[in-house]
Amino acid sequence: MATQTTVSCTGSTLLQPISEIINLPVDQVNFVACQLFALLMALWFRLYLHPSKTSPFIRHVVATLLGFYLALFCFGWYSLHFLVQSGLSYSVMIFVGLEHMHKYCFIVTLGYLIVCQITRVYVFDYGMYSADFTGPMMVITQKITSLAFEIHDGLTKPEKQLTPSQKYLAIRRMPSLLEYLSYNCNFMGILAGPACSYNDYMAFIEGTCYQPRHQENANGKENGKYKQTEPSPKNDVISKLCTCAISLGIYLSLCNLLPCGALHRR
C-alpha cells in the first residue's frame, strides 16, 4: 500500500481561516495576499519614498527588507535558500578574477538551483511542503547570471567590442552588497519576478529612468529650463490587474473541472 504524502505549509498560517473559508490551500492564499500587499507597498513606495524625497540607500533598504518579509511569509525558513544562493554568487564575484567570474557565477548559481530542485523532488517527494520555493530561485538565477555577464562586459571589454545592447547593459562598477541584495530580493519581484536588468533597476531606485527635457516658451523654442516628465503607471497597473484576474479565474475554473486528484486515482 502506497504511503500518502503529507502536504504542509512552511510559510505563515496566519491566513489559515481564510484558506478554509474559500477552500484553497493556505500557501496559495499566502501568495495572492503577498502579491496584493506588494502592490499596496509599491503605491506607498512611489508616493512616500520617491527618489525626490529620499535617498537611494533608504529605497534599497526598504525594498530589500520588504522582499525578505514576503519571502518568509510565503516560504518560511526555505526562503533562506534565496540568501544562500545570492551570497555564494556574490562571493564568487568578489573573490574570483573578472576574466572568469561570469562563468563560475553561472555554474554556482545554476548548480545550487539544480540541487534544490532535485532535493525537492526526490527527498521531499513533491509534497512535504506545499509552496514551491524554487520558483523565485529561478528568477534570482536569471538575475545573478545576467548581472555577472554584464559586469564582465563592463569591466573587462573595451567599448568598441560591445554591441549596442551590451553597451546599454554593461555595468561599470561592482555593486555593493546592499545594491546586490536589493536587486535580487526586492519586494517588487521576489515572489514571481519578472527579471530586469541591473541598470534599469538602479535607474528606478535612483530616479534617473526618466530623462528631463527642455521646456518650451510661447513661440515653441526651448527656454533652457528643464521639466521632469514621469508618466503615470495607472493604466498599465489596471491592465495587468485585469489580466491577472482573468488568468486566475481561468485557472481556478479548470482546477475545479479537471482536478489533479483525478489523475492520481486513475
Candidates 156, 143, 138; CA nearest to 96 is 156
- Backbone angles phi and psi of 221, in degrees to 5: -95, 150
Residues with pLDDT less than 70, the chain: 1-8, 124-130, 211-228, 260-266
**pLDDT recorded at residue 216:** 52
* Helix and strand totals (H; E) in the chain: 11, 2
- Characterize the bridge pairing of strands 222-227 and 213-216: antiparallel
**pLDDT recorded at residue 1:** 39
**pLDDT recorded at residue 2:** 40
Q: Are 33 and 190 in contact (CB under 8 A)?
A: no
- Residues near 93 by beta carbon (within 8 Å), at least 6 away in sequence: 101, 105, 148, 151, 174
Q: Domain locations in the chain? A: 24-209
Question: Global pTM?
Answer: 0.86
Residue 22 belongs to what H/E stretch?
helix 16-22
The whole-angstrom separation of Cα 236 and Cα 260 is 34
pLDDT tens for each residue of 15-52: 999 999 988 889 889 999 999 999 999 999 999 999 98
